[in-house]
Amino acid sequence: MRQIILDTETTGLNARTGDRIIEIGCVELVNRRLTGKNLHFYVNPERDSDPGALAVHGLTTEFLSDKPKFAEVANEILDFVTGADIIIHNAPFDIGFLDAELSSLGKPPFREHCAEIIDTLVQAKQIFPGKRNSLDALCERFGISNAHRTLHGALLDSELLAEVYLAMTRGQDSLVIDMLGETATAGDVAAPRVQIETLVLPVIAASAEEHAAHDAVLDGIDKSLKGTSVWRTQPAAEEAKSAETAAATQSA
C-alpha cells in the first residue's frame, strides 16, 4: 500500500482569484512505513504573495524568482503521486490549488491521477469532536515535537503530518494492514496449509510483569490522547458483561 503525504504553500487563500502554489512537499509511506523517498519543489508563482500569506511561509518573491515554474515540475509531481493514496490536512484547499494549476496546463484534475484522497482534518474532527485540530494542535496532542516549525513549510509540514497520521490511525487495524502489505519474494517456498480446527491451542496466561508492561503501554496511549483509550474501556465493558452472564447462570 503506497501513500503520499502532501502539502502546499501558496501566495494567498484563493486559487480562483489568481493565487498560486509556491511550494509543494510530498512524503512517501509504503505499508505505513516512511521510505525516505520524498519530493519537494519551490515554485516561481510569477506574482507576489499576499502580506498575510508571506507572514506564514516567509518565501519572498526574490527567493522564488529563480525557481522553476509549476509547468516545469508538473509531470514530475504527477508521476510521483500516480496511483497512490494521497493524505492531506484540509484537502479541499490543496486540491483546489492543484486543480487550478493543472487546468491552466490543460491537464485533468488532480484526483484523476491518484487512488484516494484522505483528509486528516476530517478524520481528526471525527476522533476529537469540538477540539482544535490544526496540525500544531495534533502534534501537541500526540506528543510530536514541532518546535522547529517557526514558519510553515510544505515538506516540513508533510513530515509532521506523516507522524500525526500514523499516530492517529495506529491500533489493531494498522497492524493488520502492515501484515497484509507483506508480499512473497521470488524463491519463497509455500508453507503447507494447516487445518486450524484440528489444532489444540495452549492458553498461556500473561505474567504479572507482562500485565505491568501492558498497562504501561496503555498509560502512554492515554497520555497522548489526553483521555481513555478504547483498549481500557472495551475490556471493562466485556468483563462486566461476562460477570452479569456468570451471575445469571449461577442464579438459574
- The answer on 230 and 134 residing in a single domain is no
DSSP type of residue 106:
T
How many Å apart are CA 173 and CA 179, to the nearest integer? 10
- The answer on 147 and 200 residing in a single domain is no
Segment 47-58, tens digit of pLDDT: 999 999 999 888
pLDDT at 223: 76
pLDDT at 201: 66
How many Å apart are CA 48 and CA 12, to the nearest integer? 9
How many Å apart are CA 159 and CA 121, to the nearest integer? 16
pLDDT at 226: 72
Rg, the chain, Cα only: 24
pLDDT at 160: 93
- The answer on 225 and 103 residing in a single domain is no
The domain total for the chain is 2
> Domain for residue 56, yes or no?
yes
What confidence category does residue 213 fall into, taking pLDDT thresholds of 50, 70 and 90? confident
164 touches 139 (CB < 8 A): yes
Segment 33-55 mean pLDDT = 94
> Domain for residue 252, yes or no?
no
How many Å apart are CA 14 and CA 58, to the nearest integer? 18
Q: Where does a domain end: 147, 180, 213?
A: 180
Annotated active-site residue in 57, 89, 113, 152:
152
How many Å apart are CA 175 and CA 31, to the nearest integer? 10
Q: Any residues with CB less than 8 A from the CB of 59 and at least 6 apart, and which?
A: 9, 22, 23, 42, 49
- The answer on 203 and 176 residing in a single domain is no
- The answer on 174 and 241 residing in a single domain is no
Q: Higher confidence at residue 66 or residue 181?
A: 66
> Domain for residue 187, yes or no?
no
Q: Which of 12-16, 187-191, 230-234 has the highest mean pLDDT?
A: 12-16
152: annotated active-site residue:
yes
Segment 176-212, tens digit of pLDDT: 344 344 444 444 444 455 565 566 667 788 888 888 8
Domain encompassing residue 239 = 196-246
Q: What are phi and psi of 88, to 5 degrees?
A: -135, 145
- The answer on 12 and 52 residing in a single domain is yes
Segment 113-158, tens digit of pLDDT: 999 999 999 999 999 999 999 999 999 999 998 777 666 788 989 9
